[in-house]
Structure 1
């Protein structure tokens, strides 16, 4: 096993000698996390062992290791160091005074977990979950919610792809500060139409949102609304089917309109502008229906919700009311919104997202998720609670310690090795 170290000198000397005695190859001994991060691609370790201090462990090092498919283990000497490791997104830890056999045991348990996961789900058999985010006209917060749902699922240790299926006003790319000259989802649809869409192609046309704890793939939307014919219903369905095999979760930002325009067209075989959104909703395992929590937004949502439940089964719909605030609703706004939804739409148990202008502005300004731009925002906390309680499978909810998806990182490492030898 090839091992790289980022440790204080005394600990480094002890563990390096022990690792060699146990038959391992120490390929790097670095004094800082920054130094090790710059050498990962050169030394290509299998495992990085870092002390949980600000000098030796950073979010940048964790992100570089994630991209290279390198496992990481933090050595912690107390609660302060444990919290520091958790704050950058690393939950695989061992005591700082652990002997090498103890460290090998910790690494071995992670390796066995990976092998068991791979045996339970062999390559090519992955059946990922698809979540579509929909809302009526009026900017209720579809894109913001889709982006941060993807981020929170990724932070829980799953591989995630975020796709922009909105044929009216695609917004994911500018919200994350990404280029959209070559829209990823439209390119995927074209390949799907030619029966050439593969997981390798998805990674080629996708962009990566990089974060120390919640990185995910992004398939950007069409930059010009006139390109909507590229997203036919059959192509969208085929692309979603391939995404299920690619990642654990696919989050889709859809358009607002559910109008079926066949009745106003003489050619029933011509493309439909809203077909992409409707296909995404029908293919989704969960539909997050978001509305704006003000009198106008509530009225729009209740009218459009009738069309939504005619398109997808009501049992798959999770209702979310966004921008909850007393200034437009009155005292106890969450209770008033819940009462209105139940009285006029028969909607019960809707999730409530508060309004935090400062946090949302910070995310837009920096082109980041709320987890990165405003980690303590009440909006982020509410979305994380929504993901944990309503969108993740029960097994993930019961987990007390987040586990990383070694499968995706090892697959990426293998692909990088193949590219280097070409």
Structure 2
């Protein structure tokens, strides 16, 4: 028998529990403003479709426990889209309507071949044009996932300014994502091929498998939508965590002004957002960065319909925004984009410079930096399925900075 927690306001909660019992569903009433903790054996929870209830912590707890969330009532569909939830049931929904919703398959955010998103996950790091720091954050998130015992692939799918290979000191001869796309089109991209095409990057606690980007931006036509979609799906099956760095541009204008049957330069970004389980949306912490982010955020939500979107503001400092920089950013995002959940990353130029000097992740060369600590907190919040770190991140950084790169560039495909 299915077990359901009804956490909507009274008296409708008690009435719905009685109706569900008539339908053969075991149901109990919980407080609508604080449905946690959920009882053992719970299969689903009915909650108001409201921001104050659907918090990142609540959604993450339900994901870990395999509990399905059924939102009820509410007029703000943005909060549902942010977490990839289905449309809300009407506040007057009857017991049989709830049962019908429970028997309907949840929105598909799982990868093929039976690999669920709760065990294998694909995270896309996106940000508008203007270098908000999306590549740096993608690298640091990948390293953090390795530290937490997750097999991780870092993929550079940026067709405008691919830079992961440059930032990590990898050679241009690496076949990377372009070769993976070619193999995917031929139907020959399996786990063995991905292992052959990836370059192993030693990191704290393990190694990151890197699929480097195209060596020249002019090769963007190699990353077509269908090719990249297949390659990312294969990566999600192969690795527990796939972190994808994409460009900031979309194809909305191209569809209106060019032949839609031909290749489009930014189709790779659209394909990655379409298959993503989580999108880390990065904005620069200055007035120009906020303007660009707000302008593109609506299009991001339209494209990433199945993903849970988490907003990150990078490089926050008082200089460009005055003393209360965080307060101004929160007000701006809430007023113009309806965003209330934000993670802030500090401006740490010294750590970033050290990472550039040694061509290593910040977590390796400056593990005590404020930015590295903030990314660790971000990983725990946005990717909560990862376990505890496997090493002590507070150890000295000189050994990691001097450690040679042992990864080999795989032969071309």
TM class, shorter-length: 0.5 to 0.7
1:22-61 aligned within 5 A = none
Larger Rg: 1
Matched residue, 2:57: none
Report if aligned partners of 1:302, 1:341 keep a CA contact under 8 Å in 2: yes
My pick for the range that moved more, 232-241 or 329-338, is: 329-338
| Corresponding residue SS for 1:210 | strand
Summarize the alignment of residues 294-333 of structure 1 with structure 2, pairs less than 5 Å apart.
294-313=286-305, 316-333=308-325
Q: Secondary structure at the match of 1:170?
A: coil
Query: What secondary structure is seen at the aligned counterpart in 2 of 1:290?
Result: strand
Tell me the distance in 1 between the aligned counterparts of 2:232 and 2:203: 24
* TM-score under structure 1 length normalisation: 0.63
> Equivalents in 2 of 1:389, 1:287: separation in Å?
13
**Which residue of 249, 253, 269 corresponds with 1:257?**
249
Distance 1:314 1:269 in 2: 25
**How far apart, in 1, do the equivalents of 2:306 and 2:291 lie?**
19
**Structure 2 stretches lacking a partner, 5+ long:** 1-112, 392-413
Q: Distance in 1 between matches of 2:256 and 2:292?
A: 23
Once residues 370 and 206 of structure 2 are traced to their aligned partners in structure 1, the CA distance between those partners, rounded to angstroms, is 18
Are the equivalent residues in 2 in contact too, given 1:164–1:219 (CA < 8 A)? yes
- 1:343 and 2:309 aligned: no
Q: After the TM superposition, which residues 97-246 of structure 1 pair with which residues of structure 2 at under 5 Å, given as runs?
A: 126-127=115-116, 128-246=120-238
Q: CA deviation at 1:126?
A: 4.4
Task: Please state how far the C-alpha of 1:157 moved relative to its aligned partner.
Answer: 0.6
Q: Aligned equivalents of 1:322 and 1:141: distance in 2? A: 7
Give the Å deviation of 1:146: 0.4
Superposed CA offset, 1:204-240 (max 9, x none) = 1110111241421000000111111111111111111
**8 Å contact from structure 1 (residues 126, 248) kept in 2:** no
**Deviation, structure 1 residue 312:** 1.3
Residues 212/282 of structure 1: CA separation in 2 closer, same or farther (3 Å cut): same
Q: Is 1:279 aligned with 2:271?
A: yes
Q: Is the 2:157–2:213 Cα contact (8 Å) retained in structure 1? A: yes
Aligned to 1:138, what secondary structure does the other structure show? coil
**Does residue 351 of structure 2 align to residue 359 of structure 1?**
yes
Query: How far 1:279 moved relative to its partner?
Result: 0.3
The C-alpha deviation readout for 1:365-419, integer Å capped at 9, x for no partner, is: 11111111110111111111010012132xx46x5x749xxxxxxxxxxxxxxxx
Matched residue, 1:381: 373
Cα drift, residue 259 of structure 1: 2.4
What CA distance in whole angstroms lies between the structure 2 residues aligned with 1:402 and 1:176? 22
User: CA separation in 1, counterparts of 2:351 and 2:318?
Assistant: 18
Does the residue aligned with 1:208 lie in a helix, a strand or coil? strand
TM-aligned CA deviation for residue 162 of structure 1: 0.3
Cα distance, 1:188 vs structure 2: 0.0
How far is 1:183 from its partner? Answer: 3.7
Tell me how far apart the structure 1 counterparts of residues 201 and 344 of structure 2 sit (CA, whole Å): 27
Q: Which of the residues 238, 245, 248 maps onto 2:240? A: 248
User: Conserved in 1, the CA contact under 8 Å of 2:124 and 2:276?
Assistant: yes
Q: What is the rounded CA distance, in whole Å, between the counterparts of 1:125 and 1:307 in structure 2?
A: 30
Q: 1:269 to 1:315 in 2, by over 3 A?
A: closer
Query: Of Structure 1 and Structure 2, which has the larger fraction of its residues in helix?
Result: 1
Q: State the 4+ residue runs in structure 1 displaced beyond 4 angstroms.
A: 124-127
CA distance in 2, matches of 1:176, 1:322: 20
Aligned partner of 1:21 in structure 2 is: none
TM-score of the two chains, using structure 2 as the length reference: 0.64
Distance in 2 (alpha carbons) for counterparts of 1:180 and 1:310: 34
